[in-house]
Chain A
């Protein structure tokens, strides 16, 4: 496998390969992908498989007499995701521009299909999955994240500075953004909806959206969320968040179990397989929403810190890739993917450490959840594909990688090339 070859020999940076059979007249000139991101994400995924097994084995055994019942599919989905990631690395990410509208429409259709009783499958009472026949259930909201990021990157890049205008920028943005967010809220899946909403906002912000529009949208979102939270059951959620100990066996139960797991882990942790929440008896969502608590209990603050550090590396490298991307679409796509994965990781971990109220959402690459894992990995593939074409840009760029690229060899300009000055 050439991928393996490139992993073994990272010095081969200038792999200016003409893509055989590519319809493009213009040759795509690439260098090695950002191995730091690759290693961080593969490490997170590997840790995820380990932790999902550790936290689900007992529960799975109790449920189906097979301790691999939950981790098995996770491994399969992880492998599929890695294949998708490797494929995406080799695909010219610009081709996604062609796919952006079908992808977006497809996501909308999938989200609507969830409301068709024949296809939907309720999991955990809230997040709805789509199941057709005997195919594995998928979570359309995961597809929606990718679709929104790709389509927004395409559209915002095309709009250029017009995004600042109200009628030509903000209103069309809302027409793309709002239906998707509302459909996910309607699922109902508040956690994913907030990830999608925040990612979209970040992308508009990065693309140079009018701050007044952004402020208005943020204000509207905050008002909406507040109004929503102030009724009944949701208000209870807030009260529990402020003091989980007021109802230790009821509403505060999850939060407390998560915090206790962290506390029992301490600095160095209880050791792999030693988690008490992991049995799934004390903490039902140990292998997905609360997997960070299991990591915190088994590997302590050290393990939790490593997970957070890996996400910080992803954020840092993602921002660097975005800054050095060869075109606006690539920059927005890289920033959007980075923001999405990092916001999702933040919300998941923040719930466990009681910074924000409980929201059911997976920890990217780590939590059990096939569609989440494979789509996140595919998104990283896109990010890595962009990283293969980064150009030198001030001090931000990875100098060595770029020096390799600009070693005097001629290369053809592209229509998509980042114009440093307009015209």
Chain B
């Protein structure tokens, strides 16, 4: 073909070049996004084989308690490879393990990035590390935990399954977080014994790997009455002198709510008396709180519970299960299905499920005059990047100091008054005013109920708040209250006088 009738192709070529440069710009942005913006977050995927492999070249940071006692440290095998050892089995559900074979769990997992130094945001410092001849050293963690208190809490729970959460209501700092049964985390971390220990723990009864304090969801029973109190008093639905004329009769015959009869079986001797708020807490009157729940309304109850941390995972160093007042499926206010569910939830039955940490926060918010502090376990991180102190931080003001005062006063009576001593045996600390509330959560069937206690001490100037759950421990006063009393006493009188 001799006569080439040629199209002007220059423009097409230039546009192609433009399209190609836009495409390469896109992938450059993509690479930058993953390598810079999301890098630190990606390095935190503690269960990923890549991260586990990368963490093998690192000496994990040590973990110490509030007084500097070592909780987790490293030993070296014959080849000079580091492996983890833990101070005590009572720490296992909380701190977890870091195993070369099974990855990480607990705090070792949650703070893997800090402990290995892989989550660093400081690229220049990272670069210097790569040039250094020795192994990379992760950051050390300081916990607010007291090892001695932690050991005592596990010992107090004994053979029972359950959990204890103790924290300082003024700062939200966790003093003890026990979950039983415990397991041998050191054996899982040791490469020689890892396989057998992991298999043994997985097969063991009672799910030892489960940290019941943060992940266990329990029916609260009467300890939930404090939540109902916060909603009712906070919203103004009741005040301290509110009483219900129909309450004594309902205790004899049951309270009729929408055709369903709510019974209150356990205090015949108050059945003839109209109770006010303080007395209702003292004797833990279900009828009083069912009526209070109905008067407060489902929407207000759910709303005030959410202020305390219900309805969403609690911001904490470890993953937390979500506490709920109801399944939320109903069309009634707040997600309740009807009046009956609301009335039952108001004294902690129905579909209400709580974590021990959540109930400790309920007690702590009352103790702290209505201000809810963010729960914290790690208070300090000291690594190559310097020392960092964490918190304390407030999550919000849940109620006015006046409402907190009213509830606190009733909780003090529940432990210290004549009636209270009958219902809350063992929680009182000799010489120190204590406030608290027991709970006996029916779990159905012929099983013993779960035994609950939440409270704080000293009642006039709180330094410790506590939640104790003993699975199938019977009435609240039978197991949980004495455990709480002894642990608060140990903390206030011996460990932190």
Interfacial residues, chain A to chain B (CB-CB below 8 A): 157-158, 160-164, 202, 205-208, 248, 256-257, 259-268, 270-271, 274, 276-277, 279, 281-282, 296, 300-301, 304-305, 308, 311-312, 315-316, 318-319, 322-323, 328, 331-332, 335, 338-339, 342-343, 345-346, 349-350, 353-355, 393, 415, 418-419, 422-423
Asked if A260 and B31 sit within 8 Å, CB to CB, the answer is no
B20 within 8 A of A: yes
CB atoms of A339 and B5 under 8 A apart: no
Contacts of A266 in B (CB 8 A): 35-36, 39, 123, 126
Question: Is A263 within 8 A of B5, CB to CB?
Answer: no
Given known A-B contacts A263-B41, A332-B9, A342-B23, A277 and B31 have beta carbons under 8 A apart: no
- B31 touching A308 by the CB < 8 A rule? yes
CB-CB contacts of B89-129 with A at 8 A, as 1s and 0s?
00000000000000000000000000000100001101100
Q: Knowing A315-B20, A319-B13, A349-B31, say if A419 contacts B41 (CB, 8 Å).
A: no
The reply to whether A207 and B9 contact each other, CB–CB distance below 8 Å, is: yes
Interface of B is mostly: helix
State how many angstroms separate the Cβ of B359 from the closest Cβ of chain A: 32
Whether B24 pairs with A315 at a CB distance below 8 angstroms is: yes
Binds A, one of B48-56, B137-145, B305-313: B48-56
In the complex, A282 Cα to B5 Cα: how many Å?
A: 57
**Alpha-carbon distance between A301 and B42 when the two chains are bound, in angstroms:** 15
Interface contacts beyond A263-B39, A279-B53: sample of 20 additional A-B pairs, CB < 8 Å, sorted by A: A257-B48, A260-B51, A263-B38, A266-B36, A267-B123, A270-B54, A274-B130, A276-B54, A277-B50, A282-B49, A296-B34, A301-B35, A304-B35, A305-B28, A315-B20, A319-B17, A338-B16, A349-B27, A355-B27, A422-B6
Q: Nearest CB to that of A417 among chain B residues? A: B4
User: Which of A207, A268, A318, A319 contacts B123, CB < 8 Å?
Assistant: A268
CA distance A127 to B38 in the complex (A): 32
B15 contacts which chain A residues (CB < 8 A)? 205
A-B contact pairs, 21 of them (CB 8 A): A157-B4, A158-B1, A161-B5, A205-B15, A263-B34, A263-B35, A264-B42, A266-B36, A270-B54, A276-B53, A279-B53, A305-B31, A308-B31, A315-B17, A318-B17, A319-B16, A328-B4, A342-B20, A350-B30, A354-B34, A415-B2
Q: Which B residues are CB-close (under 8 A) to A162?
A: 5
Q: At the interface, yes or no: B472 with Cβ under 8 Å from chain A? A: no
Q: Determine the distance from Cα of A311 to Cα of B124 in the docked complex, in whole angstroms.
A: 27
B201 → chain A closest CB, angstroms: 22
Interface status of B78 (Cβ within 8 A of chain A): no
* Smallest CB separation, B79 vs chain A (Å): 19
Question: In the complex where A202-B16, A304-B35, A342-B20 touch, is A260 in contact with B48 (Cβ < 8 A)?
Answer: yes
Cα–Cα, bound, A160→B8 (Å): 9
Closest B residue to A416 by beta carbon equals B4
Query: B4, A267: Cβ atoms under 8 Å?
Result: no
Cα–Cα distance between A191 and B198 once the two chains are bound (Å)? 44
A158, B3: Cα distance in complex, Å: 10
- Residue from the set A207, A261, A264, A423 with the largest chain B CB neighbour count within 10 Å: A264
- Report which of B6, B10, B16, B27 forms a contact with A346, defined as CB distance below 8 A: B27
Question: Which 7 A-B residue pairs are closest in the complex by CB-CB distance?
Answer: A263-B42, A208-B7, A353-B30, A319-B17, A206-B12, A267-B123, A160-B5
Contact call B42/A262, Cβ cutoff below 8 A: yes
What chain B residues lie within 8 Å of A318 (beta carbons)?
A: 17
* B49→A268 contact, CB < 8 A: no
Residues of A within 8 A of B53 (CB): 276, 279, 282
Q: Is the CB of B12 within 8 A of A304?
A: no
**Given A266-B126, A270-B130, A423 and B3 contact (CB-CB distance below 8 Å):** yes
A418 and B3 CA atoms in complex are apart in Å by 11
- Nearest neighbor of A277 in chain B, beta-carbon distance: B50
A265 touches B48 (CB 8 A): no
Q: Do B43 and A355 have beta carbons less than 8 Å apart? A: no
Say whether, besides A207-B7, A268-B123, A282-B50, A308 and B28 are in contact (CB < 8 Å).
Answer: yes
Residues of B within 8 A of A163 (CB): 7
Residues in A with CB closer than 8 Å to B48 are 248, 256-257, 260
